[in-house]
Structure 1
């Protein structure tokens, strides 16, 4: 939902253009500068005044769309992009991201008033600790998050083998999530252990964070990155059809169906520009070298997403096997 707020507001401001867009960008820039100063323990009366005026003129109007009284929101269940978190914070809505699993009853850590780092999943709640267990594929300083505490389950009912797979000898629960813990105790998720794969050149790739970054594009609705045991990564992109159609109409690209538009070389090239722009900070080997467009949205109904809207990678790759193979020919 936070991604949709980010995407919706960005589209509206871009479409408005002119003075509205300038004021919106000024609001974001002022909020970012205030945050940077606060992190250094500094303030600026002039910047505070400017930010206050812009908040009344711009940010408050966005908050009014949510009833006008929304000040705090909590995020969990799926990773929240740092860029989206900063954006929501700039609107004057504090987002506290947390983390947990059913097996941990269900919370492990959370950001909270007076203890927030946007992009992190906060510090462990009282009585709970974590260890970062090194794995063969994890970069230095990262590993699998293992949770300890009274909230950790005793095991899966009548499933001793499954229990043994996730529980350590000293009572820790292996979450399957990759992460790191900074010097102040804040946890950061960096991917899923099982989703990580190795390219043919020996480089390891964690696709989920890159996919979240690419979805910040107003033209990209969903995306899957893969390249396991291949020379390079590819991307299967489900465009935001509303935005792509608007672009097509503006640029004179004729089409008679969503499928036809996705098959148009000009649409393919336009999505390629978005992949390059949003993935500019990716390492060279991480960037998708080829991509394909799919007009059907991934959903629980077509078994491409879980009920909690997580990507079912195997199902997507099986459904688009021929398309993916063609990208490597």
Structure 2
């Protein structure tokens, strides 16, 4: 795990230290701090701050941007506010859970980190991609792109002769995916975090349709621009 401002690594996998579901431990001479000052009380996650000799001096000719991201610890060591959310476990393994800018608050005041829920959802073979939405709303909803290969295998096994588009729009298939996904999410997330309504898409989020960044992260604003009307219908169900 790292970023350009960290030259570029902060953590690194190795033979002795590795753990699935984490981005492993900080590299030598690097310190990671989890800042929870802007998080709700009791939150496990916070902003990941990285300190060490690998931290950049600043952005060229951009003093304001530099001041917004560069910090120092009590010993004068330079650090960077990464803008990423995460936490350190008892063995100092770093768990990356989302971006601060992606976090939003529901009407009930509860904060939601959508990327963490999305990544956990994609552990299911049924789901190729998913995006949650619920900013300022009473509950979360989700756009789901079913996995075409898994869907084709399921159809073949059960003697269903339909195209991918027909399978995605099949009410029985949608109900099955919804049931499996909700049960899966209940093993880790609170009820307020789990989407209540779903829409199913046949087109994935890709670089080609400009729904993903070059680092394969969702361009949420672009997805909302394209599917905003569809999302609104989910709040009228």
**How far apart are 1:251 and its partner, in Å?**
4.6
Number of aligned residue pairs: give it: 230
**How far apart are 1:141 and its partner, in Å?**
4.6
Corresponding residue to 2:105 among 189, 198, 205: 198
* Structure 1: gaps spanning 5 or more residues: 1-98
**How far apart are 1:122 and its partner, in Å?**
2.2
**How far apart are 1:137 and its partner, in Å?**
2.6
Change in CA separation of 1:124 and 1:258 when aligned onto 2, cut-off 3 Å = same
> Over residues 131-167 of structure 1, what are the superposed CA-to-partner deviations in whole Å (9 max), with x where a residue is unaligned?
2212323544531111111111111222222222211
Match of 1:167 in 2: 70
Is the contact between residue 32 and residue 48 of structure 2 (CA under 8 Å) also seen in structure 1? yes
Corresponding residue to 1:143 among 46, 52, 56: 46
Match of 2:16 in 1: 114
**How far apart are 1:249 and its partner, in Å?**
5.0
Change in CA separation of 1:159 and 1:275 when aligned onto 2, cut-off 3 Å = same
Is the contact between residue 199 and residue 227 of structure 1 (CA under 8 Å) also seen in structure 2? yes
Aligned-partner Cα distance in 2 for 1:103–1:239: 36
Answer 1 or 2: higher relative contact order, Cα 8 Å, separation at least 6.
2
Corresponding residue to 1:291 among 198, 210, 214: 198
Aligned-partner Cα distance in 1 for 2:154–2:93: 41
**How far apart are 1:179 and its partner, in Å?**
1.8
**How far apart are 1:169 and its partner, in Å?**
5.2
**How far apart are 1:180 and its partner, in Å?**
1.9
* Structure 2: gaps spanning 5 or more residues: none
Given the two structures, how large is their TM-score scaled by the length of structure 1? 0.65
Q: RMSD across aligned C-alpha pairs, in angstroms?
A: 2.0
Change in CA separation of 1:328 and 1:152 when aligned onto 2, cut-off 3 Å = same
Q: Choose 101-110 or 166-175, whichever is displaced more.
A: 166-175
Change in CA separation of 1:118 and 1:302 when aligned onto 2, cut-off 3 Å = same
**How far apart are 1:305 and its partner, in Å?**
0.7
Is the contact between residue 151 and residue 164 of structure 2 (CA under 8 Å) also seen in structure 1? no
Given the two structures, how large is their TM-score scaled by the length of structure 2? 0.88
Match of 1:123 in 2: 25
